[in-house]
Structure 1
């Protein structure tokens, strides 16, 4: 019984210490660490309590008041020591970096899977010779073609998520050296198909009914297989030829697990490496994760198909919504061959040129007029149908541009066509965030030189060199290319190679400037300007109606000498809260310093009324003031470090 009573008493004391320490610190310190620290402090000091009582001449027959005073002093010392330990832990191991007990237990299976995946990835990195580039003191040849080639192979070995991440990085020529862009552009995610026994349950689940009720025929051998999905040909019960795009059963789980690892790796690289901070590894990882989650939801792809179909004259397969869902798309089957496999040479030269211009015009209209465009137009995603027309496939990657961005892009092409460096520079500034130390005149001169060099389309390298020079220019001046603009560059860059399969003599930039100028004249023509003016007038009419009264009021106040201008500083609650927090911390710091000085002074004074045979009043008050000083100091420090993390 005595042991049980002692255990219960110890537990109660630990709980009291936890509660008091958390309340005094004023920050949400984790319960786990508070319990461990409280239990350790109590266990260390409990055995010394008898020695303390003997030192001060106390025993069980002592009056309650001296025992109470000693208890207050002892508890104050315990809490002070605990606050110091908790504050130091918060400095070096922030609470938010340590999972709760529940998270720890439930996260063990995921952690084990993550460890296995980490080991596999680290083995790939080591085998490909990349481990020397992941630390703070990485090797100096980080931009060499050999490293780029090793990175491409490592991403291929790591699987679908990392392959797609490499494909996304290949579009960011503003962040990566040319050698990396070239190598990562070679990434492909073609893999072996899943067996039909694993794929059929996905189709049945999405249909919500037996497969035989929807399809008269469905080929169990896939027409094509990629990393996330595979395509099967089928025929509906009404005889319509369709294709079924079905997501691999384990694709979502594998992608989710790999995205978690990718996010952790990005945070580590940005924290420990210079090049990770330069390219913004965390931002790239977050943007990629968001786009890949969209790609895994085929309802988003269906919406993309409708958006592109409405924006272009190019053929887009019809979707059967009643049979499609989150993991399955049933769409019209296009009879033909992708440009990568089609016999384009069998077409007459003039027809090939017409098809190339039709494809380019359709994409430019998507980009500049509607703002919804296919962002991955490699030859495998453009089909030459049996009747000699062009159609688009695979709408998992679709870009979107808002109206101001589209207008700035149109003005940029219009300015390049007219060789107007001032207007082109203004369009660039509208498209991208302006760097703090930008030299406008220097940028304008370089843009003018670029326009003169590539404006006639005769410079070596053609449109590809134009894109490279433009990206080099904006990066050199400190611009960051927004992801939506990077998607435009990626689209036009990929489209260049696709167009050359149709018409080897086509120059994308020269044709784009001409078509873009036509679109610009269409968007800035008389009807478009009239429509814009009508819209602006409708917005301004309420303001214009109130304007005479407001001008009259200001004039009267000027005549009377009663005009006053009120400027409210710190009008935002965030600003006021920030200053209030700083003021509160300053007050607590000054008060804690005063209490500490007073406590040290009293602690070193002898004399005063004797509270216990060995304890005078002044040392007791000194210890009390020091306890308060340590409490206030720990509260200030804990709030600072907790807020930073």
Structure 2
């Protein structure tokens, strides 16, 4: 029993000293293994060394104690060397802890099953050859884009929505991918009422029969995340109820975890993954999808768009809505995607007026209010029974700040006036200026683009124009912000919706005319006066203090007492970095000094004898080498930890 207690005590002591002396968080598991192995070998090695030195029971205690301390130091130094090498080869953060392995085993099994399914989908669609370190060279082929669309569709709702998000990033993906991914849809069969009714029961503040006079258990429409049911309130008001599927959140959360793991692997192993920044894309997509799953956010989006638009928007009932349920006004009509007969019954003038109303309303959302519906495909625009237009599905709503709206307005105004210089300046205001930009060449490219699409006869319409504009800015090294890419995607999608209403609509021409009107309204005399008053009100506190400050400066100049204080290390992070570097440098210098001192003493055979066969100087030299090894291990471990941070 005493042997077991002694062994455990030695192991615990080695673990504690090793972690403390290294000064960095090394995993307990590897420290325990190294300390246990070293304890097993250390006893045998110590007995052999003491026997070789001639230590017996009659040897004085103090010299033996010094030798034992040096041997213990050598054992600890060896532990530190092993732990440092392990930390360099297999960092602690890359090895899961025992607790995480045990608690995460069920989810790991589920992920493994899902990985097998996803891998089979990729294999079946011929995509596995493009995710290795040496992918095939026909990555931009339309065939690969079609295969990717099919694979995302088979993989389920999360991957479908990820593909839909990628279809908005024409600045990152080739045109063939944008076209294919824009075709993605996630319509599925509705779930039985008995499965979705608990969601409604949990969300409502009181029983459903005290809220609804009638509730249709057969859904009006169904998608991968939610389904829509018709209902009537107790006062007779017709409404629709949007119910989130019971398993939607759990499925999306699990798939998002897998999607991010795949993104990390692709960014590490593939050149195209690093170029696209797939980890950042996956993180941004996860944030937006979590927001989309929270229906309280969608209710807020509906109210924001309603305030920013003269188009019809359903009125939500916030007191009856929750994170998984929305109760909203029912608008009688049909989506444009299935309203061909109703549109055909309208005159050409009525259809042109509807198209102009829709486009003008969206432009006002974007350029005046900065809150706009970002997914205006034909299924989200309703042709009402009285011949008006209404918007649906506010899970995807874009927002633009005032400077971005002003720059976009100036861009439209410059396009309307065929002014390539002003258009280039507007682009530079919208996006960060890339290094080495050739302004004159960019002006020429923008000018050619405006001339090409300015007459309204260029093939492809507005969708092609926006794609070409994105190609130009990407070719010149600009990084397109996601909110700006959302604007281009909205206008490009809107072009196809407008074509259903009026095939002869000229989106570019109307946008130019409306852009000119918006520019005049935003940059007219009243708008400039209002902006000037706002800026003056902002500057008033500073202007009121300016005379006093100027007086102090002139007085100090006259007296010769003016001084300037500079704090080059005012930032705490800068001070921390310098302190860390200085500490590493000091430890390195001290370790080198101790190393040379220890080597010098080890070579000294003469001097006082510690034991009959052991001189004192080599023992002291070994002690100095022990300290030098500790300092070296501490410096190296600190370097590895800093690199990971």
TM range (shorter): over 0.9
Say whether residues 1:318 and 2:315 are aligned partners: yes
* Deviations 1:351-389 (CA, angstroms, capped at 9, x unpaired): 111111110011111111111110000000000011111
The separation in 2 between residues aligned to 1:539 and 1:417, in whole angstroms, is: 33
Shift of 1:208: 4.1
In the other structure, the counterpart of 2:9 is: 12
The answer for the alignment partner of 2:448 in structure 1 is 449
Query: Is the Cα contact below 8 Å between 2:383 and 2:389 reproduced in 1?
Result: yes
The unaligned stretches of length 5 or more in structure 2 are none
Q: Residue 635 of structure 1 corresponds to which residue in structure 2?
A: 634
Give 1:556 shift: 3.2
**Alpha-carbon shift at residue 108 of structure 1 (Å):** 1.3
Residue 325 of structure 2 corresponds to which residue in structure 1?
A: 328
99-108 or 426-435, which deviates more = 99-108
SS in structure 2 at match of 1:221: coil
Is contact 2:87-2:637 (8 Å) kept?
yes
Q: Deviations over 1:111-146 (max 9, x none)?
A: 111111111111111111111111111111111111
How many angstroms apart in 2 are the aligned matches of 1:508 and 1:588? 69
| Contact kept? 2:372, 2:398, Cα under 8 Å | yes
Tell me which residue corresponds to 2:431. Answer: 432
Q: Equivalent residue for 1:21?
A: 18
- Contact 2:205-2:320 within 8 A present in 1 as well: no
Flag the 1:628–1:367 CA change in 2: closer, same or farther, 3 A: same
SS of structure 2 residue aligned to 1:48: helix
Which deviates more from structure 2 when the two are superposed, residues 361-370 or residues 92-101?
92-101
Q: Is the 8 A contact 1:55 1:614 kept in 2?
A: no
- Measured after TM superposition, the shift of residue 550 of structure 1 is 2.5
Which deviates more, 364-373 or 211-220?
211-220
Report which stretch shifted further, 560-569 or 230-239. 560-569
Distance 2:399 2:89 in 1: 44
2:302 maps to 1:291 = no
1:13-68: CA deviations, max 9, x gaps?
11111111111111112222222222222223233332222122224554332332
Contact 2:67 2:619 in 1 (8 A): no
Instruction: Name the CA distance, whole Å, in 1 between partners of 2:24 and 2:458.
Output: 64
Kept in 2, the 8 Å contact 1:317–1:393? The answer is yes
Cα offset, 1:605, TM superposition = 2.7
Distance 1:392 1:61, change over 3 A: farther
- Matched position secondary structure for 1:605: coil
CA distance in 2, matches of 1:432, 1:287: 19
Is residue 142 of structure 1 aligned with residue 156 of structure 2? no
Which of 14, 33, 36 is the aligned partner of 2:30?
33
Task: State the Cα deviation string for residues 449-487 of structure 1 (Å, max 9, x = none).
Answer: 222222232333222221121011100011111110111
Distance 2:134 2:512 in 1: 46
Partner of 1:242: 239
Deviation at 1:635, TM superposition (A): 0.9
For residues 366 and 60 of structure 1, do their structure 2 counterparts lie closer, same or farther at Cα, with a shift above 3 Å needed? farther
Superposed CA deviations along residues 408-466 of structure 1, whole A, max 9, x for unmatched, are 11111111111222221111111111112212222122222222222232333222221
1:91 to 88, 92, 109: 88
Give the 3 Å change call, closer, same or farther, for CA 89–215 of structure 1 in structure 2.
same
State the distance in 2 between where 1:558 and 1:87 align: 59
The CA distance in 2 between the partners of 1:60 and 1:198, in whole Å, is 82
CA distance in structure 1 between the partners assigned to 2:293 and 2:43 by the alignment: 59
Query: TM-score, length-normalised on structure 2?
Result: 0.97
Work out whether residues 324 and 330 of structure 1, in 8 Å CA contact, stay in contact via their aligned partners in 2.
yes
Write the deviation string for residues 315-358 of structure 1: whole angstroms up to 9, x where unpaired: 11111122110101111111110000012111111111111111
RMSD: 1.5
- Cα deviation per residue 1:281-312 (whole Å; 9 max; x = unaligned)? 11101110000000010000000000000000
**In the alignment, structure 1 residue 590 sits paired with structure 2 residue 622:** no
1:109 lines up with 2:106 in the alignment:
yes
Instruction: Identify the residue that residue 44 of structure 2 maps to in structure 1.
Output: 47
Given that 2:463 and 2:491 are in contact with CA atoms closer than 8 Å, whether structure 1 keeps it comes out as no
Deviates more, 1:60-69 or 1:210-219: 60-69
Equivalences for 1:143-292 in 2 at 5 Å?
A: 143-292=140-289
Q: Distance in 2 between matches of 1:593 and 1:102?
A: 40
**Aligned ranges 1:471-486 → 2 under 5 Å:** 471-486=470-485
Maintained 8 Å contact 2:463/2:493:
no
Which residue of structure 1 aligns with residue 410 of structure 2? 411
Q: Distance in 1 between matches of 2:410 and 2:319?
A: 42
Change (3 A) 1:357 1:8: same
Report what 1:468 is aligned to: 467
How far residue 273 of structure 1 moved from its aligned partner, in angstroms, is 0.8
CA distance in 2, matches of 1:272, 1:527: 57
Q: Does 1:386 align with 2:385?
A: yes
Deviates more, 1:565-574 or 1:193-202: 565-574
Q: Is the 8 A contact 2:302 2:394 kept in 1?
A: yes
For 1:43 and 1:444, locate their aligned partners in 2 and report how far apart those are by CA, in whole Å: 75
Offset from partner CA, 1:562-592 (integer Å, 9 cap, x none): 3333333222121122112111111111111
Q: Which moved more, 1:76-85 or 1:173-182?
A: 76-85
Number of matched pairs: 642
Of stretches 246-255 and 16-25 in structure 1, the one that deviates more from structure 2 is: 16-25
Counterparts in 2 of 1:124 and 1:59: CA distance versus 1, 3 Å = farther
Secondary structure (helix, strand or coil) at the match of 2:635 reads: helix
Alignment partner, residue 515 of structure 1 = 514
Residue in structure 1 matched with residue 538 of structure 2 by the alignment: 539
Q: Over residues 514-567 of structure 1, what are the superposed CA-to-partner deviations in whole Å (9 max), with x where a residue is unaligned?
A: 112211111112221111111111111222222223223333333344333333
